[in-house]
Structure 1
Amino acid sequence: MVYYFKARPELGDYTIYMGLDKFENEDLIKYGWPEDIWFHVDKLSSAHVYLRLHKGQTIESITPELLEDCTQLVKANSIQGNKLNNLDVVYTPWFNLRKTQGMDVGQVGFHNPKLVKTTRVEKRINEIVNRLNKTKVERTPDLKAEREVYNAAERAEKKAHTREKKRHEEMERLEKERQAEVRSYKGLMVPKKMTSNKDIAAKGKTLAELEEDFM
C-alpha cells in the first residue's frame, strides 16, 4: 500500500507519497525515480516520504512552501517526532540513497553525505497536515512495472534526441558543402582570373595554334 498526497495547488501539480510500513519502504527505495526527493525525521523513526519533482527539476527547485508541506507530513507520520517541537528533517535525492546487505528492512544510508540537506521544523501545523490528509489516496501500485515504463520512455526520448541531433548535424554538413561550392564557383568567375581573346593574342599565339597545343 502506498499513500499519495497532493501539495497545495498554487504550487503546481506535485505529488507526495509514502509507504505503508518499512517493508513497503524497501520497494520505494528500490524503484524510485530520478526526480524523487526523500524525506525523513533526523535521528528518529518516521515514514519515508517522497516528493516527485517535475522532470528537469532538482532539489534546489523546491520552494519553501513545498518544503513545508513535505516536512509537516514527515513530522505528522513520526510517532516520536509528532510530539516534539524543533526537530530536524533530512532530505536528499532518491539516487543518493544507499542500501547495503547488512542494513535492516527500511534502513538506508547515503552515497554522498554532502547531498543531504537538513531543515528545522518548529512545530506541527494542523492546517497543513489536515489539508494534505484530505487529498490522500491509497493505492497498491506495481512499482517495478511503473519504473520499467519510466525507463522505456527515457530510452525512447534519448533515441529521438539522438536522431534529431544526427539530422541537425547532417543538415549543417550539407549546408557547409553548399557554401563551399558557392565560394568555389565565385572564385572561378573572378575577372582577374578570366582570359579574353585579346589576352591570348597578346601572348603571340593564334587561336589555331592554341588549339594545336591543346590537342
Structure 2
Amino acid sequence: MVYYFTSNVVSPSAFIYVGKDKFENEDLISYGLDEDVCAHVYVRLREGETWDNIEGPLLEDCAQLTKANSIEGNKKDNITIIYTPWSNLKKDGSMATGQVSFHNQKLVRKILVRERENAIVNRLNKTRVEKFPDLRSEKEEAAKKKRNSERKSRDQRMEREKLEKREREQIKWQKAHAYDDMFSDEAMMNSSNQDRGEDFEDDFM
C-alpha cells in the first residue's frame, strides 16, 4: 500500500507519497522515477522543476511528513532530514529492508526540522489517499512515454536541421548563379553594338 498526499502550498499542486512501511518502501526504491526526490517520503517533481530548486514550502511539507512517519524522529526536536534525487539512491543485498545509501554524497541536501508542525501534518493528512499501485507497470509506462518524447524531439530536430540545410544550399546556389541571366544569349544580344543602327550614337547626344 502506498499513501499519496497533495501539497497545495505550491501551484500547481505537488504529490508526495510514501510506503505504508519499510517493506512497501522497498518497491518505491526499486521503481521510482527520474523525477522523484526522496526524503524517506517521495515527491514527484513538476514540469520545469529540478531537485535543487524545490520551493521552500513544499520542502517543509516533505520534511514534516518524514518526521511524522518516523517512529524515532517524531519524538524528537531539531532533527535533520536529508533528501536526494531518486536516481542517487544506492541499494545492495547487504542492506536491511528499507535501508539505502547514495551513489554521490554531493547530491544529498539537508533540511532542519525544529519541531513537528501539527497544522502542516494535519493539512496533508486530510488529502491522504491509500492505493495499491502497480509500480513496475507505472515505471515501464513512464519509460515508454519518455522514449516516445525523446524520439519525437529527435525527429523534430532532424527535420529542422534538414530544412536549414536545404535553405543554406538554396542560398549558396543563388549566390553562385546570381549573374547567370546577365550573360545569357538574349542579354548579350541586347547589350551588343553589332546590330544597332548607324545612328545609335545619336541617342547619347
Change (3 A) 1:96 1:87: same
1:190 offset after TM fit, Å?
Answer: 5.6
**Aligned residue pairs, count:** 190
Unaligned runs of 5+ in 2: 195-205
| 1:72 counterpart SS class | helix
Distance (Å, rounded) in 1 between the aligned partners of 2:111 and 2:159: 47
Q: Name the counterpart of 2:89.
A: 97
Percent identity at matched positions?
Answer: 46
CA contact (8 A) 1:97 1:109 kept: yes
**Quick check: 1:11–1:66 contact (8 Å CA) kept in 2?**
no
Deviations 1:97-146 (A, max 9, x none): 00112111111000000110111101001000000000000000000000
Is the 1:35–1:55 contact (alpha carbons within 8 Å) kept by the matching residues of 2?
no
Residue 36 of structure 2 corresponds to: 36
Deviation, structure 1 residue 183: 1.1
Structure 1 partner of 2:47: 55
* Aligned equivalents of 1:117, 1:9: Cα separation in 2: 21
- Alignment partners' CA distance in 1, 2:175 and 2:33: 52
2-structure distance, mates of 1:198, 1:25: 95
Amino acid in structure 2 at the alignment position of 1:5: F
2:137 counterpart of 1:145: yes
Aligned partner of 1:67 in structure 2 is 59
Instruction: Measure, in 1, the Cα distance between the counterparts of 2:120 and 2:15.
Output: 15
Contact 2:10 2:58 in 1 (8 A): no
Q: Cα RMSD between the aligned structures?
A: 1.8
Q: Distance in 1 between matches of 2:145 and 2:11?
A: 26
Name the counterpart of 1:45. none
- How far residue 188 of structure 1 moved from its aligned partner, in angstroms, is 2.8
Match of 2:2 in 1: 2
SS at match of 1:186: coil
TM-score by length of 2: 0.87
- What is the deviation of 1:189? 4.4
CA offset at residue 6 of structure 1? 0.5
Which whole-Å CA distance do the structure 1 matches of 2:82 and 2:10 have between them?
Answer: 25
**1:197 is the counterpart of 2:198:** no
Structure 1 runs, 4 residues or longer, greater than 4 Å off: none
Structure 1 residue runs without a partner (length 5+): 40-47, 200-215
